[in-house]
């Protein structure tokens, strides 16, 4: 039997994960079976178990790497003009996030909510999600601390949690309605977020 190269193994694994990502996004974790993933990836049952022991292991791999698979890793990498105010920087972050809200990305966002829902039952997944949440939290936190090093910690925490609750809440709404936000509505929401940011100035 010919030996399979490492590149081929990686390619096969990515194919399985891509199929699983689509199945979990469309049906949810509980309703998706290993056979669904096999059929989507167009592979044999024996092949999938060569790379993953179970559906849960596939799900955990996606939780670790789904941003890379959907290019979400680029979303929170920002460069700010040198003289930007705190509000301008925070609005730049807001705009960067909102600009990624395409129908495709909203579909993939469903799986993020699946990760959070299932994390209450899978301890390893809970740790993965806590780590990712902390990373997102720190992005906004660091922008604020750079401008206000002596900010009250309770105010800082309250602001950052409120910030991300707005993002997550809007995404959840648009995902559940399978629609994109109306530009005029988002313009109004942006104005509200801007006023919220000005509280810290």
Over residues 14-21, the mean pLDDT reads 91
Residue 1 lies in a domain: no
Q: Verify that 85 and 180 share a domain, yes or no.
A: yes
Count of domains in the chain?
2
Q: Verify that 77 and 172 share a domain, yes or no.
A: yes
Residue 180 lies in a domain: yes
pLDDT band for position 176 (50/70/90)? confident
Q: What is the pLDDT of residues 133-172, one digit of tens each?
A: 888 899 899 999 999 999 999 999 999 999 999 998 998 8
Over residues 27-42, the mean pLDDT reads 94
Contacts 24+ apart (CB under 8 A), 33-40: none
Q: What is the pLDDT of residue 74?
A: 53
Domain of 50, in residue numbers: 6-67
Q: Verify that 117 and 36 share a domain, yes or no.
A: no
Q: What is the pLDDT of residues 47-83, one digit of tens each?
A: 899 999 999 999 999 888 776 665 555 556 677 888 8
pLDDT band for position 1 (50/70/90)? very low
Q: What is the pLDDT of residue 69?
A: 62
Task: Between 80 and 90, name the one with better pLDDT.
Answer: 90
Q: What is the pLDDT of residue 196?
A: 95
Residue 150 lies in a domain: yes
pLDDT band for position 197 (50/70/90)? very high
Name the nearest CA neighbour of 189 among 168, 173, 166.
166
Residue 12 lies in a domain: yes
CA dist 34 and 19 (Å) reads 11
pLDDT band for position 131 (50/70/90)? confident
Would the CA dihedral through 175, 23, 70, 131 be positive or negative? positive
Cβ pair 62, 19 in contact under 8 A: no
Q: Verify that 126 and 162 share a domain, yes or no.
A: yes
Q: Verify that 95 and 119 share a domain, yes or no.
A: yes
Name the nearest CA neighbour of 200 among 150, 137, 136.
150
Number of H-type helices and E-type strands within the chain = 9, 0
Task: Between 72 and 132, name the one with better pLDDT.
Answer: 132
Give pTM, 2 decimals.
0.77
Identify the CATH number of the domain in which residue 20 sits.
Answer: 1.10.10.60
Task: Between 164 and 96, name the one with better pLDDT.
Answer: 164
Instruction: Report the percent of the chain where pLDDT is more than 90.
Output: 48
Residue 98 lies in a domain: yes
Q: What is the pLDDT of residue 71?
A: 53
Query: Does residue 107 carry a pLDDT above 90?
Result: no
């Amino acid at each position: 039997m010919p030996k399979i190269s490492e590149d081929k193994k990686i390619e096969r694994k990515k194919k399985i994960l891509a199929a699983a990502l689509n199945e979990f996004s469309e049906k949810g974790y509980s309703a998706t079976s290993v056979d669904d993933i096999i059929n989507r990836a167009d592979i044999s049952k024996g092949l999938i178990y060569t790379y993953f022991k179970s559906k849960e292991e596939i799900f955990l791999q996606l939780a670790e790497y789904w941003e890379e698979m959907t290019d979400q890793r680029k979303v929170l990498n920002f460069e700010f003009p040198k003289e930007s105010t705190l509000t301008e920087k925070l609005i730049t972050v807001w705009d960067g996030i909102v600009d990624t809200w395409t129908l495709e990305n909203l579909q993939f966002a469903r799986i993020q909510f699946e990760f959070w829902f299932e994390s209450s039952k899978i301890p390893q997944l809970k740790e993965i999600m806590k780590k990712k949440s902390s990373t997102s939290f720190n992005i906004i936190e660091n922008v604020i601390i750079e401008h206000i090093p002596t900010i009250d910690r309770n105010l800082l925490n309250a602001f950052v949690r409120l910030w991300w609750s707005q993002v997550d809440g809007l995404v959840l709404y648009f995902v559940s309605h399978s629609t994109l936000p109306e530009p005029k509505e988002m313009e109004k929401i942006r104005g509200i977020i801007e006023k919220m940011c000005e509280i810290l100035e």
